[in-house]
């Protein structure tokens, strides 16, 4: 198996219809190659730590010092104190995700690829699974944002919203970077530039930036392009590189890495209490846009959101929501989903953790009455951060160049 490229494995060893095991479970070599494939597709290779596991959960041991250990040495006297290390654990709690799909006999018979279309579709589904997993790593939020049903379900309502239960499986890196001992730097709507990168580096504790090359700036393609355009106007070698090359920019020696699925304006979600018509509820970001307000209990049933100006008002610059009218009773807990200004995440390249289980299944079944072949790709994943103190998040960055 070692001589087979990832693409060949997905095409030949994993998703050919004849090669599926009776229970659909990939053998260890196949599972490892599949994991390599989904990581390579997302571009997270060498920029996040990938942990492979088989158990229902996995413990990652942390060990560090974090404070001074040296003491004055006095001849003929034993030190009065002894230094130790700090130990802790990061626990990965995997969740199971599935890609269910089916291929009808008629379609398989009349398409231009013939029988080969089945294997082609399975490969496409495996590729899309890798992309969906990257979205979960980055954008996951256990509160579950409100989204149009049509955005999540084919044929769904274009006016009513449901809770995005997929992204609610985990808190992804953008949400984890808001908690614990992470460091938030407010750009106050300033456009991206060297000053903001400098502020982020200054906010990083010294013990995590000894080797600047091991740090990474993560952001969206659009924000990286804004910075690249700004740098390209300089009459310097760096300006020429920004204009004519695709290699990563390195503000203050730290690579700036854009990811296609890192959102330019992240859809934040918060549960806030609307106390009364005289008390605005402050959101964590400002300015805000595209605000949607529903009850915090929003689930999978399509629901018409509350109406702005009729049920609530928004101060977009200040990032506040205030109830009006009687549709929202005083003291109601509501879900507020909104678009926030761009962000940049600064952390160590091994601080972001992806857990992927080796018990991967690609299963096939037959519905003889509907004349379809049914497939399910199942994998367990987990997302974590080893040390939130080693994370700096630039927020409220301006959308201009």
* Residue 90 CA neighbour count, 13 Å, CB half: 19
Res 217: pLDDT: 96
Phi, psi of 106 (to 5 degrees): -60, -45
Fold of 173-263+343-349+389-395: hypothetical protein PF0899 fold (3.30.2320)
State which H helix or E strand residue 50 sits in. Answer: strand 49-53
Res 1: pLDDT: 37
How many angstroms separate the CA atoms of 146 and 269, rounded?
8
State which H helix or E strand residue 131 sits in. Answer: helix 116-139
Res 116: pLDDT: 67
Q: 3-state class of 251 per DSSP?
A: helix
Per-residue pLDDT tens digits of the chain, which is 401 residues long: 344 444 444 444 344 444 444 446 777 777 777 777 777 777 777 788 888 877 666 777 664 444 555 667 777 676 666 555 445 677 788 889 988 888 887 776 666 566 667 777 777 888 888 889 889 999 999 999 999 999 999 999 999 999 999 999 999 999 999 988 999 999 999 999 999 999 999 999 988 888 888 899 999 999 999 999 999 988 787 787 788 878 889 999 999 999 888 999 999 999 999 999 999 999 999 999 999 999 999 999 999 999 999 999 999 999 999 999 899 999 999 999 999 999 999 999 889 998 888 788 888 888 888 888 888 888 899 999 988 999 999 999 999 98
Q: 3-state class of 57 per DSSP?
A: coil
Residues belonging to the chain: 401
Domains 6-58+92-139+352-383 and 173-263+343-349+389-395 share a fold: no
Architecture of domain 6-58+92-139+352-383: 2-Layer Sandwich (3.30)
Res 113: pLDDT: 60
How many angstroms separate the CA atoms of 341 and 397, rounded?
6
Cα–Cα nearest to 304, from 113, 160, 108:
160
Domain boundaries, given as residue ranges, for the chain? 6-58+92-139+352-383, 173-263+343-349+389-395
Alpha carbon separation from 285 to 184, 257, 267, 316 (Å, rounded): 11, 23, 11, 10
Q: Quick one: tokens of 227?
A: 């910075």
Res 30: pLDDT: 76
How many angstroms separate the CA atoms of 162 and 12, rounded?
39
How many angstroms separate the CA atoms of 52 and 356, rounded?
5
DSSP string, 259-310: ETTS-SS-EEEEEEEE-BTTBPEEPSSSSEEEEEEEETT--SS-BPPPPBTT
DSSP string, 170-212: S--HHHHTTSTT-EEEE-TTPPSSHHHHHHHHHHS-GGG-SSG
């Amino acid at each position: 198996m070692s001589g087979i490229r990832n693409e060949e494995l997905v095409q030949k060893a994993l998703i050919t219809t004849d090669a599926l095991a009776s229970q659909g479970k990939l053998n260890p070599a196949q599972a490892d190659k599949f994991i390599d494939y989904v990581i390579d597709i997302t571009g997270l290779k060498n920029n996040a730590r990938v942990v492979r596991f088989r158990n229902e959960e996995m413990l990652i041991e942390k060990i560090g010092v974090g404070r001074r250990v040296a003491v004055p040495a006095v001849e003929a006297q034993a030190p009065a104190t002894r230094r130790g290390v700090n130990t802790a654990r990061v626990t990965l709690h995997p969740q199971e995700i599935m890609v269910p799909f089916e291929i009808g006999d008629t379609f398989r018979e009349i398409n231009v690829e013939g029988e080969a279309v089945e294997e082609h579709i399975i490969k496409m589904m495996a590729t899309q699974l890798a992309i969906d997993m990257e979205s979960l790593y980055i954008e996951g939020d256990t509160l579950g944002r409100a989204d149009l049903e049509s955005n999540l379900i084919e044929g769904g309502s274009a006016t009513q919203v449901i809770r995005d239960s997929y992204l609610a499986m985990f808190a992804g890196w953008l949400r984890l970077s808001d908690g614990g001992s992470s460091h938030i730097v407010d750009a106050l709507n300033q456009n991206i530039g060297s000053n903001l990168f400098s502020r982020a580096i200054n906010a990083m504790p010294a013990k995590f930036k000894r080797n600047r090359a091991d740090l990474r700036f993560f952001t969206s393609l659009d924000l990286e392009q804004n910075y690249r355009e700004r740098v390209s106007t300089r009459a310097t070698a760096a300006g020429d590189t920004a204009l004519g090359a695709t290699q990563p920019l390195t503000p203050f020696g730290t690579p700036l890495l854009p990811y296609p699925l890192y959102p330019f304006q992240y859809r934040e979600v918060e549960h806030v209490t609307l106390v009364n018509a005289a008390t605005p509820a402050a959101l964590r970001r400002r300015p805000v846009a595209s605000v949607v307000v529903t009850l915090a209990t929003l689930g999978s049933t399509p629901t018409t959101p509350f109406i702005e100006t009729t049920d609530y008002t928004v101060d977009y610059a200040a990032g506040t929501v205030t109830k009006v009218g009687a549709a929202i009773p005083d003291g109601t807990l509501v879900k507020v989903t909104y678009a926030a200004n761009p962000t940049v995440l600064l952390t160590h390249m091994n601080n972001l953790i992806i857990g992927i289980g080796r018990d991967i299944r690609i299963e096939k079944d037959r519905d003889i009455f509907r004349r379809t072949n049914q497939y399910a790709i199942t994998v367990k994943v987990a997302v974590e951060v080893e040390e939130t103190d080693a994370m700096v998040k630039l927020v409220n960055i301006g959308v201009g160049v």
